Amino acid sequence: MKKKLNLLGELIEDFTDVKTHDSLVKNLADYMHRNFKAAAVEMAWNIGASTTVYNVTRDNDSYTFKKTGRDLNQSAFSEVLASGQALVSEVQDETDDSLFIEERIAIELYATQLVILPLYENDDINGFVSFYLLEEQDLAGLSELLQHMLSTITLLIKQIDLVGRLTSVSRKAYKKVRQYTETLEENLWHGESEKVGQIRQELLQDCRLAAKSSTTVYLRGEEGTNKDEVAEIIHRFRTYGKESFVEFDCSKLKDEKQAALLFGTKSNDSKQGYWDRAGQGTLYISNADEMVPESQEILAELIELEDSNTPQIIISGDLEKAVNDSDFDSEILEEVSALTIEVAPLRECREDILNIAKRYLKELSQSMKLPTPKMDRKFTQAIVSNSWKDNHKEFRSFLEKAIISSPDKNLVIPTGFDQEGSITIIRTTDSLESSIKSNIIDALKKTRGKVYGEDGAAVLLGLNPSTLQSKIRKFGIKKKTFKKL
């Protein structure tokens, strides 16, 4: 049997994109058949005297889905409800009128073991899942996995029910649902999901796709764009943190020892290198444009393998320039270009700058053993409008200086802040009315129609929110239009 961590990783991956009860049961059926030889899976929620049951049965290589009503008095779930415990029983050879519906189904499917597990809502049983297993399983040894499965199913069902009622709830309730969904994402992806802008969402989607492949990934982008963080996100999406992540910086060793240290046994060296240490995890090679020829030869061989039992390779560096300078193998660049992820500079991620700032401020404050300071409107406008030519390194350094320079809880802009390094995101109200309207539209596009708050259009424009609302009404701009962008 697969290791529990592998089973848990598959469970999280199979349930990630579930949107309906139907897809939840179908994904669960596929997971249970693949790992535990389940002939069928059933699920019910909001139980009553008559309960709707979702059933997925495997027939050869396909699945049959149906939804039926079931009388609780004729169901084995009444036993689970009465005892509050899971039901596990061996299937009889013959059917009779005294058997529960589930027991009859098990006989028809030639199952050897029937398992019914309760789904709790708070302290009460409000549903169940049933597994019809073709082979008996040691469920006691899988109790931790099953408990995680039941918790995840319950959370997903609640999310599906909430999302289904979005059209009839108020704006306040809609915000709570979004928070609930984000909490679910955070649980499934071990904290990787966050409330992010469009560019960051696209980047995370690219990372998920890259994580599903053994192909070498090429991270392109300006220096200082935190490509190492992107590499770790791909790694966690791929291995859920259960394998090693190893990073090697080619710029720190550019002699004949590089290949042996980097690739170890693959370079016919007797000692293990970074490649060996990565196991089935991830080997991230930064500044790959400074790889020596011997290292490039080994890398070219490994790229062709695409073996799931070896580390996934992620590389970064200005490979195009290195090829033009005749310092890098053009065939390697051609191969890795098949899976290239563009990491945008900080100045293009303005929807995320405030979230990034909050994260950095928290980390820096903790390291300095100081309370986390707050950002006022003037400070947020300054960081959103700056070009941050050195990207995250410059931004983090600026915030560190701001913390040191701030005598109280509110951050102040450090002395010597390069205002010339700032860029104009939104034109001021000194422009003609047509330009003012255009500026407001630009701001609403960036914030998806949001006016208030630190990440709202009012901060981008440097206006009081009520003033901005007045101008929106004056120009007849419809904020709802931008929420769909």
Predicted pLDDT of residue 168: 56
List, in order, residues 6 or more apart from 19 with CB less than 8 Å away: 160, 163
Question: How many angstroms separate the CA atoms of 137 and 360, rounded?
Answer: 48
Q: Is the dihedral of CA 143, 146, 147, 148 positive or negative?
A: positive
Q: Establish whether domains 4-164 and 198-342 are of one fold.
A: no
**Domain 4-164 maps to which CATH number in 3.20.20.70, 3.30.565.10, 3.30.450.40, 1.20.1290.10?**
3.30.450.40
Strands 245-249 and 282-286: parallel
CATH architecture classification, 198-342: 3-Layer(aba) Sandwich (3.40)
Question: How many angstroms separate the CA atoms of 153 and 159, rounded?
Answer: 10
CB 446 within 8 A of CB 457: yes
Instruction: Convert the pLDDT of each residue in 84-138 to its tens digit.
Output: 888 888 887 777 778 888 988 889 888 999 999 999 888 888 889 999 998 888 8
Question: How many angstroms separate the CA atoms of 44 and 37, rounded?
Answer: 21
List, in order, residues 6 or more apart from 294 with CB less than 8 Å away: 256, 258, 259, 267
Predicted pLDDT of residue 426: 41
Predicted pLDDT of residue 185: 47
CATH number of 347-421: 1.10.8.60
Question: How many angstroms separate the CA atoms of 166 and 289, rounded?
Answer: 50
Of 478, 443, 473, the closest CA to residue 461 belongs to: 443
pTM, 2 dp:
0.48
Predicted pLDDT of residue 427: 40
Q: What is residue 358's three-state secondary structure?
A: helix
Please give the structure tokens belonging to residue 389.
Answer: 């030519």
List, in order, residues 6 or more apart from 166 with CB less than 8 Å away: 174, 177
CB 234 within 8 A of CB 311: no
Predicted pLDDT of residue 7: 75
CA atoms within 13 A on the CB side of 156: 24
Please give the structure tokens belonging to residue 282.
Answer: 């991830």
The string of DSSP letters for 180-236 reads: HHHHHHHHHTTT---S--HHHHHHHHHHHHHHT--S-EEEE--TTS-HHHHHHHHHH
Q: What is residue 291's three-state secondary structure?
A: coil
Rg (CA), the chain: 28
DSSP 8-state class, residue 127: E
Residue type for position 131: F
- Gap between the terminal Cα atoms of the chain: 46
Of 147, 162, 142, 131, the closest CA to residue 43 belongs to: 131
List, in order, residues 6 or more apart from 249 with CB less than 8 Å away: 286, 287
Count other C-beta atoms under 10 Å from residue 263's C-beta: 25
Residue type for position 403: I
CB 152 within 8 A of CB 14: no
Of 426, 427, 357, 342, the closest CA to residue 388 belongs to: 357
Cα-based angle 17, 18, 20 (whole degrees, multiple of 5): 145
- Domain residue spans in the chain? 4-164, 198-342, 347-421, 433-483
- Residue ranges in the chain modelled with pLDDT below 70: 1-5, 165-196, 306, 308, 418-435, 483-485
